[in-house]
Structure 1
Amino acid sequence: MSDSHLNIKPAGGWGALKSSAKFIINADVFKTSKALLNLNQVDGFDCPGCAWPDPDEKDRAMNEYCENGVKAIAFETTKKRASLELFKEKTVTQLNELDVFTITNQGRLTEPLVYNRQTDKYEAISWQKAFYTVGKHLKNLPSPDDAIFYTSGRTSNEAAFLYQLMGRMIGTNNFPDCSNMCHESSGVGMSESIGIGKGTVDLADFHKAELIMIFGQNPGTNHPRMLSELKEASKRGAKIVSINPLKEAGLVSFVHPQDIAQMITNVATPISTNYYQVKMGSDMALVQAIIKYILEEHSDTLDTSFINEHTAGFEEYKEEILSLSWDVLIEQSSVTMEEIIEIAELYVKSDKTICCWAMGLTQHQHGVASIEEVMNLLLLKGNIGKEGAGACPVRGHSNVQGDRTVGISEAPKEEFLQKIDSVFDFVSPRSHGYDVVHAIKAMNKEQNKVFIGLGGNFADAAPDTKMTYEALQNCALTVHISTHLNKSHLICGNEALILPCLGRTELDIQKNGVQRVTVEDSMSMVHGSKGKNIPITRDIKSEPAIIAGIADAALGNKKVDFIDLISDYGKIREKIEAVLPEFNAYNEEIKKPGGFELYNSAKNRVWETPTKKANFLINKVPSLNIEENHLILMTLRSHDQFNTTVYGMNDRYRGIENKRKLIFLNENDINKLGFKNGDKVDIQSHSKDKIKREVFGFEIISYDIKEGCSAAYFPEATPLVSIEHFDKKSFTPSYKFIDITLVKSK
């Protein structure tokens, strides 16, 4: 294993402070500073960024946020406004010519808008008329399944619950959400393995783990507060193994910006004790190779009592793994036998192991299988339901897990539907609805559908950009509930509405006073979130209020009085509690500092699977071979980016300034393909549907990335992702394995 990664500059440090200060100064300094004092505090509001959990109250810092949290808050408290004046000045066609950074940085939306197709401009519309327009379309649908209700992971539990209730009362389970595009493979794979699609660890487990394995994740950019836990684990001697195609600063070393002594000395804490660069998609074969070595050489270290008492399928799985060819595993894992042995020996010596992962594992055609192999590895030594050990899928959006818990799912469980029917006295639909991939296909195939986006930026986040744009434009009505202008607002259906909503930092005042919403983090903790800032205008509404307005216009109040429910969000929580028993005493529990933890069956070694055991699951090794002179491309974020929201044009940890149309390549690949660092190239992807997908004018950047691999930012590279390349169980698109070729730009 090479130690060359130790030469990469540390994450955090003075660079993080300078960057944070720049974003605060460029926003509303007073509002931003006030908001930051309340960010992730007990009586404050939850960061709209990642879903990393907050420490206990006694361990919580006054500045309990990271650089990217500052960017998110500065973005929300900006002085810029995407007001009616902008739309009077520019047509939708003109706005569509702008790049993603310029579009998203027009500022906060200030009033409801309706698209005028004749003038190609958005115009003002009253809330009453906007609700009437949506209600009219929903009431006149040829079929309830012609409505598609998309959800972003920033949506609160209260808003998400009302949203799914409205959709099911209309008669559909069409609830595609951002999880379909990211951690759906985690949910499916973990559910098949251990009976629940959620992580089984909490922060206390990180304090006790002997080994932390990190697969396909870049915490320095995507989950920076996680670095605090990794730093402390490293200092107390835990082994940290990182497995990733690129060398990433946050996986190498870290200077905590809030550690005064460390900032003065500028001495970084090493994070990864072992760093292995692998080809994209090869993690599954690597885990199988590790398991094969353990079964062959260290079978005496298995937790046989756990395996016998708590698992099913071990003997069949063992037979399958032992039958695999070492030559195939080494080739497909893209590492050496020596490296496989190194990792396996670390796992064998650890009695308490946590496995963490993110999109690098899930966004593949074999995403579910990859997760199941990680679970198989954990089960070998009883690392589920054990202190200091477990599975940790690190989710990227602040309430993506909570939305799923309260009913945002295209494939709801029968038990949930029965409770909904009982509590609200109607019969909800039973047929499964559309996930993201199938929603795009349905909209593309049939006209006159209604698409409602509760947050997010569907047009830029979804795969196969050209097809996604055409799908949205094919709709009778598109509706977007948002804080800021984004690309989705400019890809209009026959009719289109933009409905501006409150941000997390802002006071939410309803009939019965100031309200709080609730969210669920990656570790199943549910807590309150209450903004403090005065809303930017009186013409914006909360997400629950907007949903209630639409529901009232579409359904009336005979079965459910949505308007009454939003008068006090405690009423919504009472309904959630009635449907979902795990939210027992919901309104009382969220008054506790830090909130409360939802019951996790696997964490308690209760296995809600058909076998009533944790399952060892067999998966075939995928072939990742591509043609000569082809490369594998993955899409990723820059450091100045959260999902499709681009805060700035820099990517500090990777040394990039003021540009985004670029492709990271290994120096050997650059030379082999006859290019030079800095050349501009056009990129073409190759898929089984034979459709030509291209992007143009990307600058080559020589980078420390595994040979044969490449990386480019989304959404600029998203047009290369085929709608036909997805996991067959989770339907998650393959954003992390795109077969490409390059030609020099003309």
Structure 2
Amino acid sequence: MDHKRKERIEPYTLPAGGLDSLKSSTITLLKEKVPGSRFKTLLSQNQPDGFDCPGCAWPDREHTSTFEFCENGVKAVAAEATAKRAGAELFARHTVAALLEQSDYELEQHGRLTEPLAYDHASDRYLPISWDDAFERIARHLKALPDPNQAAFYVSGRTSNETAFLFQLFVRLYGTNNFPDCSNLCHESSSRALPQTVGVGKATVVLEDFEHADTIMVFGQNPATNHPRMLNELRAAAKRGATIVSINPLKEKGLDRFASPQHPLDLLGGGTEISSLFIRPTLGGDFALIKGVAKRVLELDDEAVAVGGERVLDLAFLDQHCSGFDAFAADLRQESWQQLIAASGVAFQDIERLARTYVRGKAVIATWGMGLTQHRDSVAAIQMLSNLLMMRGNIGRLGAGLCPVRGHSNVQGDRTMGIEDKPTPAFLDRLAQVYDFEPPREHGLDAVDTIHAMRDGRVKVFVGLGGNFAMATPDTPRTFEALRNCALTVQISTKLNRSHLIHGADALILPTLGRTEIDLQKTGPQGVTVEDSMCMVHLSYGINPPASKQLLSETDITARMAHAVLGDGKVDWLSYVGDYSRIRDEIAKSIAGFEDFNARVAKPGGFHLTPASRERRWLTPSGKAQFIVNALARDTPISRARAQHGDELMVLMTARSNDQYNTTIYALDDRYRGVYGQRRVLLIHRDDIARLGFAAGDKVDIFTVWHDGAERRADGFRLVEYDIPRGCLGAYFPETNPLIPLDSVAEVSNTPTSKSIPVLLRRAAVS
């Protein structure tokens, strides 16, 4: 029904959450035809004896309420618990070519995969294959490669710690570090920036800190859509008087007002005001803004010294715990205000307000999402944010710290388990000691480099453990070309997506259990563990019967694949399938911080993997928190494109809609932004519409401006007047991923610059 609704633009005037959130959740459950007996699944979501929500990585309260789920979580659970099925009968009705004509939303609606399938060239269909034959085919391809580095192994953040550990061990015993993963596409900038400043690439806060913070700065996030349970923490903080600042080009609905569905008075009233200050940088202006705030904090300290007042800087913290402050301060002093203001797109008065708000805070938390991580200067911006918090000692004490908010439920745990294309020598040394082999030491390929390697013929086998690689990645036509250039593509999935249809010469679809389903093995139902955004590790047990008797767990698939390729020489792979606690014993031997894993995780709520930086222990070369100097870039792809095209040049950011989880499209609405029944829309300031000679509602084609001369375009987008900074545009992914050049990446992290793409608009060739 949804895709047939009348397209309309209708500004949303209510708070985020509220009765509309309950209504949307109910509609989703009914649309997916979730059996009534499975509605109770929601009562086990994010509970100590239940399953961890696959929808996001926001942590759980130690003392949970009955209702620990949100609209986003309901949609994720409904997608798994759906009564719809996609097995061999689907491909009997449709060729792959025919399915490729369907939208990503339509592909999602086919439901759960039910049996292993292999691509048949003669019929252009996927046909059933036995599990044994599927694993034999994988083994044949991998063994035939002259070099293990000609294979790449992608991992999605929905994968459990147990599966991720076995998977990385299998791949390293096979002989490569080619681990492209979803973190490469989202929070890799955080993972590369923070170890250089505070020694660990993880949050320095826990959920309790939000109860003690008096100031919370939210950078580049849309919690109402991406992690709605975060809004309950922000609501509680706002109600007790904490100052919340939203730093984002878009004034997102959930950071304005929020009506918690768990609080009846919120539903009856107008909800709770969340942010008291909105700062709106231009796209790509985050680094300049944060540096401007740091510069102003330093000036305020100078002013205090001049009049003999209380110092703004935390001198004791700087002296005892930090290195490099003098060079950092000298760089701030010489930086031009004019250039900082121009690059940030933020007036000096607003930078001043943000700086004074920060300085008034006694316990400050800085959180951020992909609005901060997907720019050319993302690593520098996150390091500058670390610098800013260190200036006043806001790391390693109650109510204060750094908080990257991850998206996928276990993307952080995957990295902890070793899903890393650039593993540390210490990690590899430990594997070598425990398993008596020499792991590959050469750095492997990340997601972007894997696409290059597949296009060039250097990678011939691609194995995807979850996710939708074809649609999550940049430069879509070139990614498609890369996947089609493979000898074998393997997709381990719960539901049909476009990555199954963009395949290699040989291709397999291996269906797996979802997080909500009972994983019954020889010793009984198995639990798996995940690590949330704040380093809590806890168990998750599914409660629903599997969608098909032919489904295998991701752990089982990994073990059988490893057994088929490597045999039982170093590891008895199949012995781990019957009892996952045996895998956790292996993790305890191999990974620091997981000693006595089984006993610790058995405690309700699990345990905290406390980062050294939270305890003010600094795992940096200097042994201290490190101030890092980064210059404001003058010569950038955007500045060069603007020099060529002047005011015609616009900068585009991609974003998720409210009815979307990563590349999964649940429905065609984005109610918080007032968009209904459609996705090919372009959010644009009304002054830019007029300046460029268009009218609201016009259709335009979008073209990337890039140095290689290749045409990158996305056609037929409807202009929607929106409150967004002038010169900036917003649109949904994956529809606009074709516009992101494969070599437009963040420095150091190699993350695609999905939030700052230089583009031109032309009137649509087809209306």
Whether the 8 Å CA contact 2:56–2:407 is kept in 1: the answer is yes
Trace 1:58-137 onto structure 2 (pairs within 5 A): 60-137=64-141
2:18 matches 1:17: no
Partner of 1:365: 376
Q: Determine if the alignment matches structure 1 residue 701 to structure 2 residue 714.
A: no
Measure the CA separation in 2 of the matches of 1:604 and 1:447: 44
Post-superposition shift, 1:351? 1.1
Change (3 A) 1:448 1:193: closer
Separation (CA, whole Å) in 1 of partners of 2:707 and 2:574: 49
Helix, strand or coil for the counterpart of 2:509? strand
Following superposition, the deviation at residue 622 of structure 1 comes to 2.6
Quote the residue 2:167 is aligned against.
Answer: 163
Q: Is 1:564 paired with 2:575?
A: yes
Match of 1:439 among 437, 450, 462: 450
The code of the aligned residue for 1:193 comes to: T
Residues 298 and 348, structure 1, Cα contact 8 Å, conserved in 2: no
Q: Does the 8 Å CA contact 1:39/1:45 hold for their aligned counterparts?
A: yes
The AA in structure 1 aligned to 2:266 is: Q
Equivalent residue, structure 1, for 2:40: 34
Number of equivalenced pairs: 738
Partner of 1:354: 365
Asked whether the equivalents of residues 653 and 730 of structure 2 are also in contact (C-alpha less than 8 Å), the reply is: yes
**Equivalent residue for 2:690?**
671
Work out whether residues 12 and 671 of structure 2, in 8 Å CA contact, stay in contact via their aligned partners in 1.
no
For 2:237 and 2:469, the matched residues in 1 are separated by 37
Q: Once the 2 structures are TM-superposed, how far is the Cα of residue 323 of structure 1 from its aligned partner?
A: 0.1
Give percent identity, aligned residues only. 49
Letter in structure 1 aligned against 2:229: R
Structure 1 residues 118 and 318, CA, compared in 2 at 3 Å: closer, same or farther?
Answer: same
Matches of 2:43 and 2:352, distance apart in 1: 48
Out of 253, 257, 261, which is 2:257 matched to? 253
**What is aligned with 1:617?**
628
- Name the structure 1 match of 2:586: 575
- Residue of structure 2 aligned with 1:680, choices 699, 707, 716: 699
Deviations 1:659-712 (A, max 9, x none): 011111111111111111111110001122222100111111111111110011
Task: Report matched runs for 1:489-638 at 5 Å.
Answer: 489-623=500-634, 625=639, 626=642, 627-638=646-657
1:351/1:166 CA distance change after superposition, 3 Å: same
State the AA in 2 paired with 1:349. R
CA RMSD in angstroms comes to 1.1
Moved over 4 A (4+): none
**Of 750, 758, 764, the match for 1:731:** 750
CA contact (8 A) 2:190 2:373 kept: yes
Q: Which of 266, 271, 274 is 1:268 aligned to?
A: 271
For 2:667 and 2:38, the matched residues in 1 are separated by 17
The superposition leaves residues 294-337 of structure 1 with CA deviations (integer Å, 9 ceiling, x where unpaired) of 11122421001100111110000100011001110111111111
SS at match of 1:150: strand
Q: Does 1:221 align with 2:225?
A: yes
CA deviation after TM superposition for structure 1 residue 31, in Å: 4.7
Rounded to whole Å, the distance in 2 between the matches of 1:622 and 1:741 is 23
- 1:403 counterpart (399, 410, 414): 414
Aligned partners of 2:220, 2:38: CA distance in 1, in Å? Answer: 33
1:424 positional shift: 1.3
Q: Does 1:303 align with 2:314?
A: yes
Describe the superposition over 1:466-523 as per-residue Cα deviations: whole angstroms up to 9, x where unpaired.
1110110000100000000001000010100000000011000112211000000000
| C-alpha separation in 2, matches of 1:728 and 1:230 | 32
Contact 2:535 2:608 in 1 (8 A): yes
| Shift of residue 629, structure 1, vs aligned partner | 1.0
Residue number in structure 2 paired with 1:281 = 284
Q: 1:552 to 1:354 in 2, by over 3 A?
A: same
Deviation string, structure 1 residues 173-210 (Cα, Å, up to 9, x no partner): 00010000100000111011010000101111111111
Residue in 1 aligned with 2:735? Answer: 716
Over residues 418-475 of structure 1, what are the superposed CA-to-partner deviations in whole Å (9 max), with x where a residue is unaligned? 1111111211100000001110000000166110000000000011111110110000
Q: Return the letter of the residue paired with 2:529.
A: T
Deviation at 1:34, TM superposition (A): 2.3
State the alpha-carbon separation in 1 of the partners of residues 723 and 111 from structure 2: 36
Q: What SS is found at the alignment partner of 2:110?
A: coil
Is the contact made by 1:447 and 1:474 (CA closer than 8 Å) also made in structure 2? no
TM-score (norm 2): 0.95
The range that moved more, 447-456 or 401-410, is 447-456
Give the match for residue 8 of structure 2: none
Q: Which runs of 5+ in 1 are unaligned?
A: 1-5
SS in 2 for 1:163: helix
Give the counterpart of 2:398 among 373, 387, 391.
387
On the 8 A contact 2:151/2:459 being kept in 1, the answer is no
CA contact (8 A) 2:493 2:511 kept: yes
* Structure 2 CA distance for aligned equivalents of residues 163 and 459 of structure 1: 21
Residues of 1 paired with 2:509 and 2:312: CA distance?
A: 59
* Secondary structure at 1:699 match in 2: strand
Q: CA deviation at 1:140?
A: 1.3
Q: Post-superposition shift, 1:356?
A: 0.6
- Compute the TM-score of the two structures, normalised by the length of structure 1: 0.98
Match of 1:49 among 45, 55, 58: 55
Structure 1 SS opposite 2:676:
coil
How do 1:640-659 residues align onto structure 2 when only pairs under 5 Å count?
Answer: 640-659=659-678
Aligned to 1:211: 215
Give the residue type in structure 1 aligned to 2:349: E
Shift of 1:585: 1.0
SS of the aligned residue for 1:581 comes to coil
Unaligned runs of 5+ in 2: 1-10, 303-310
- Counterpart of 2:683 in 1: which secondary structure? strand
Instruction: Select between 120-129 and 97-106 the one with higher mean Cα deviation.
Output: 97-106
Cα distance between partner residues in 2 of 1:125 and 1:585: 40
The partner residue of 2:333 within 303, 306, 322 is 322
Instruction: Tell me which amino acid in the other structure corresponds to 1:48.
Output: P
Residues 711-740 of structure 1 show CA distances to partners (whole Å, capped at 9, x for unaligned) of 110000000000111122111010000001
Q: Distance in 2 between matches of 1:459 and 1:397?
A: 17
Residues 80, 612 of structure 1: CA spacing in aligned structure 2 closer, same or farther, 3 A cutoff? same
Aligned to 1:3: none
Question: How far is the alpha carbon of 1:266 from its aligned partner?
Answer: 2.4
Task: Output the CA distance in 2 between the equivalents of 1:725 and 1:641.
Answer: 25
Alpha-carbon displacement from aligned partner over 1:8-66 (angstroms, at most 9, x marks no partner)? 53100011010011011223132541211111111000000110000012xx1101010
